[in-house]
């Protein structure tokens, strides 16, 4: 099978003058090579395409693929992760991971929380600060936690994100509004343990791969799985596999959120316990990092005994099965 590969290379954006934090979500060459190697090992023909503009040029030139393995994050706008899926949908080319709706919905953390809460999934109470004047209507008890509403990889999160009073709230939100040019999500800070859950599959077929606890070392930025802590995780973070009843409870909430948001094929969700020990949905990454060494999903898989090759294989198999079902439905209904 001829499989195109869409992605954003971090080194290309750094060379263009973007900063380290701005490009934190983008991929390294070794990630692209690792995925290509797995696809080749499975008997497929991987072809590197690149970012959305490179994809657009090749589509206009008439190129097509049997499937696209998409990990492109995009650069601008709340729909940036939806750009490649939308373009592929327009040309009728199947692809891995979530569709434009899920990609846009989950990037906006507040919208995602509205949906999961409406579906009965526990998530911390929250408010959205779009301009400084919105701070007057924030009616949540302290401590709070603030972060950009549409970023990933810990961008905009630091020890200052945990907020204890109105003065800190105003200072932190003012800083985030200025730096990221987007709304700020303010939510009730949960004091319990923090977990990440890996998932493969779609809808009722989705399964939790495992539950991993994120443990910050004394030298780490406190109370936050921040950009700094993620970037220097080798010295600042410990990861521990969680099993038993707690893992089952966390997985149940994660899968409920995954299905409610319409995520597909594979990804990762972050959850945290409240003071009573109840797991709460924090956010989901439907384009989880796939670096074989550094990415949380790959680390989790190593802890549960799933090799990197098997992880990529599971994601690809889930996408192919889903696409086959969608194609079968379209043939029956005549909808294309």
pLDDT digits (tens, 9 = 90+) for 195-237: 999 999 999 999 999 999 999 999 999 998 998 899 899 999 9
- Domain 125-188, second-level architecture: 2-Layer Sandwich (3.30)
Alpha-carbon distance values, 100 to 48, 96, 182, 264 (Å): 21, 12, 20, 11
The residue among 285, 306, 26 whose CA lies nearest residue 150 is 285
Query: What confidence tier does 335 reach under pLDDT thresholds 50, 70, 90?
Result: very low
Query: What confidence tier does 301 reach under pLDDT thresholds 50, 70, 90?
Result: very high
> Could you state, in order of their start, the residue ranges of all structural domains in the chain?
2-95, 125-188, 194-321
Of 21-25, 112-116, 183-187, the poorest mean pLDDT is in 21-25
Alpha-carbon distance values, 264 to 36, 321, 323 (Å): 21, 11, 11
Say whether pLDDT at 329 is over 60. Answer: no
Alpha-carbon distance values, 163 to 171, 275, 295 (Å): 10, 17, 28
- Cα–Cα distance measured from residue 305 to residue 118, given in angstroms and rounded to the nearest whole number: 35
Which pLDDT does position 330 carry in this prediction?
52
- Cα–Cα distance measured from residue 59 to residue 68, given in angstroms and rounded to the nearest whole number: 12
- Cα–Cα distance measured from residue 145 to residue 224, given in angstroms and rounded to the nearest whole number: 9
Burial class (CB in 10 A: 0-12, 13-18, 19+), 10: buried
Burial class (CB in 10 A: 0-12, 13-18, 19+), 274: middle
What fold does the segment set 194-321 form as a domain? D-amino Acid Aminotransferase; Chain A, domain 1 (3.30.470)
**3-state SS class at 4:** strand
- Cα–Cα distance measured from residue 168 to residue 147, given in angstroms and rounded to the nearest whole number: 13
DSSP code at position 158: S
Which pLDDT does position 205 carry in this prediction?
96
Q: pLDDT tens for residues 139-194?
A: 999 999 999 999 987 899 999 999 999 999 999 999 999 999 999 999 999 999 99
Sign of the CA dihedral running 291, 297, 300, 304: negative
- Cα–Cα distance measured from residue 306 to residue 300, given in angstroms and rounded to the nearest whole number: 9
Sign of the CA dihedral running 36, 42, 47, 50: negative
Say whether pLDDT at 117 is over 90. Answer: yes
Which H or E run includes 235? Answer: helix 233-236
What fold does the segment set 2-95 form as a domain? Rossmann fold (3.40.50)
Q: Span 115-133, mean pLDDT? A: 98
Strands (E) in 22-175, as ranges, are 45-50, 67-70, 126-129, 144-148, 162-163
φ/ψ of 279, rounded to 5, equals -70, 135
The residue among 280, 218, 281, 211 whose CA lies nearest residue 240 is 211
């Amino acid at each position: 099978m001829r499989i195109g590969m869409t992605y954003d290379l971090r080194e290309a954006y750094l060379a263009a003058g973007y900063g380290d934090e701005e490009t934190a979500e983008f991929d390294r060459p070794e990630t692209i090579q690792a995925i290509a190697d797995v696809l080749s090992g499975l008997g497929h023909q991987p072809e590197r395409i690149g970012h959305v503009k490179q994809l657009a040029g090749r589509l206009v030139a008439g190129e097509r693929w049997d499937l696209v393995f998409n990990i492109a994050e995009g650069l601008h706008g709340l729909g940036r992760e939806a750009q490649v899926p939308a373009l592929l949908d327009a040309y009728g080319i199947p692809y891995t991971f979530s569709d434009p709706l899920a990609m846009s919905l989950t990037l906006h953390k507040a919208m995602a929380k509205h949906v999961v809460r409406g579906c009965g999934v526990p998530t911390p109470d929250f408010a959205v600060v779009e301009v400084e004047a919105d701070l007057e209507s924030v009616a949540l008890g302290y401590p709070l936690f603030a972060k950009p509403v549409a970023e990933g990889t810990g961008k905009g999160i630091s020890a200052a994100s945990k907020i204890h009073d109105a003065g800190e709230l105003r200072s932190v939100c003012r800083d985030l509004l200025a730096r990221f040019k987007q709304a700020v999500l303010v939510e009730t800070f949960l004091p319990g343990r923090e977990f990440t859950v890996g998932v493969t599959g779609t809808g009722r077929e989705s399964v939790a791969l495992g539950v991993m606890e994120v443990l910050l070392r004394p030298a780490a930025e406190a109370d936050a799985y921040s950009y700094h802590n993620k970037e220097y995780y080798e010295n600042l973070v410990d990861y521990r596999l969680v099993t038993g009843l707690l893992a089952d409870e966390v997985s149940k909430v994660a899968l409920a959120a995954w299905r409610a948001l319409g995520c597909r094929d594979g990804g990762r969700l972050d959850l945290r316990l409240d003071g009573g020990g109840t797991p709460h949905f924090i956010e989901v990454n439907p384009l989880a990092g796939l670096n074989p060494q550094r990415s949380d999903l790959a680390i989790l898989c190593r802890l549960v005994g799933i090799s990197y090759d098997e992880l990529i294989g599971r994601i690809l198999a889930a996408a192919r099965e889903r696409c086959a079902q969608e194609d079968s439905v379209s043939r029956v209904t005549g909808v294309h």
